[in-house]
Amino acid sequence: MRPSGLVRTGSATRYLQAFVFSGIGAVLLTRAYLEMAGYPRIGGGGFHIAHVLWGGLLMMLGLGIELVFLGRAARMWAAVLGGIGFGLFIDEVGKFITADNDYFYRPAAGIIYLIFAVLVVITHSLRGRTDASPRERTADAVDQALVGVTSGLTAEQRTAAMRLVQGSRSTVDLAVVQLLAAVPEQTSPWIARWRTLVGYPRAALAWLAARRWLIIVVAGYLVAQPVLTLLGATLEGVTGGLAHGRELGADIAVIGAAVFTGLLSIWGAVLLRRNPYRALRLFHVALLADLLVGQVFKFTVNQFAAVSALAVDLLLLWVVAAQTRRLRRTDASAPR
């Protein structure tokens, strides 16, 4: 238990993901709508309601739901509404940091990206954490029991919650086990159908991510992508396009990030057969460097057209994490 009284929840990643993806979706949809609609003004004369105000209202609504209601549904609504509101808010960052309130300030795209990238990295770092204290595990189990009281628990959820306090002889933990056993079963047919629907693609993706040959494909991409970036920059330098670009500083930063990630990726590819753990760690660092540095300046140069490269980086980060878990399971089950 921290001195502040704040206790981490084991389900934080679920709600952080909802917040982040809702925010990203809000930014992309807002930008697309405004461009298609010709950037209309809400109001007349000198009156204009900026969408940052709607964002603030949605964040307030999400916070209000979390303060008033209990259970998983309230948290998810708070995360989604808060994420949409935050997306509408941060979309206008260009107005906040320029003297002339320039919504189209080009570095704004990189700033927006960086904020969400940091949130993604935080979410990724919290996934599967095993450093929870006994009190945090007890509090997390009680929280799951509360979910069961309000909406029921599936057999898997009940087992996972009981595992948090498994083996403890504490009076509180024994009472939590009894409470978890007593809460109702989740019987909603819609929830069961949804779990079945998403279960198949999730299982297929998990199977694919655990294939050993896939990491070879990932290594090839991680080596080739910075090399192609450097070749493109060299070509632009020869033709004069680089020197006359609108964002020369950002272009140079992209080149520097490509050199760094390329060297790490080549090093990882060399080590892949002899030391796969070290190789995966290098791939992980290369991806984080591209996410937190390279992509920031790619968004500055290419604006929101860089979203596709971001999606590829996130997919590769997921594959590297899955391959690391596969190696750990293999080592744990290997004969001593």
Distances (CA, A) of 136 to 3, 8, 132: 13, 7, 6
Based on the fold, state whether residues 56 and 73 are members of the same structural domain. yes
Based on the fold, state whether residues 148 and 170 are members of the same structural domain. yes
pLDDT (0 to 100) of residue 191: 64
Q: Does residue 335 have a pLDDT over 60?
A: no
Tell me which H or E stretch contains 254: helix 248-271
> Of 78, 101, 126, which closes a domain?
126
Q: Does residue 173 have a pLDDT over 70?
A: yes
Based on the fold, state whether residues 299 and 254 are members of the same structural domain. yes
Based on the fold, state whether residues 148 and 104 are members of the same structural domain. no
Distances (CA, A) of 127 to 14, 121, 130, 175, 210: 9, 10, 9, 28, 17
**Quick check: is 83 in a domain?**
yes
d(CA 241, CA 239): 6
Based on the fold, state whether residues 18 and 110 are members of the same structural domain. yes
Structure tokens at 26: 């809000």
Instruction: Give 193 or 157, the one with higher predicted confidence.
Output: 157
- How many angstroms separate the most distant Cα atoms in the chain? 78
Residue 160 structural domain: 134-187
Instruction: Give 66 or 248, the one with higher predicted confidence.
Output: 66
Q: Does residue 336 have a pLDDT over 50?
A: no
**Quick check: is 174 in a domain?**
yes
pTM: 0.74
| pLDDT tens string 150-166 | 777 877 788 888 888 88
> Of 73, 108, 126, which closes a domain?
126
Torsion angles phi and psi, residue 8, rounded to 5: -70, 145
Least confident of 137-146, 208-217, 288-297: 208-217
Q: Does residue 245 have a pLDDT over 70?
A: no
Based on the fold, state whether residues 58 and 79 are members of the same structural domain. yes
**Quick check: is 157 in a domain?**
yes
Based on the fold, state whether residues 88 and 183 are members of the same structural domain. no
Average per-residue pLDDT for the chain = 80
Per the structure, the count of domains in the chain is 3
**Quick check: is 82 in a domain?**
yes
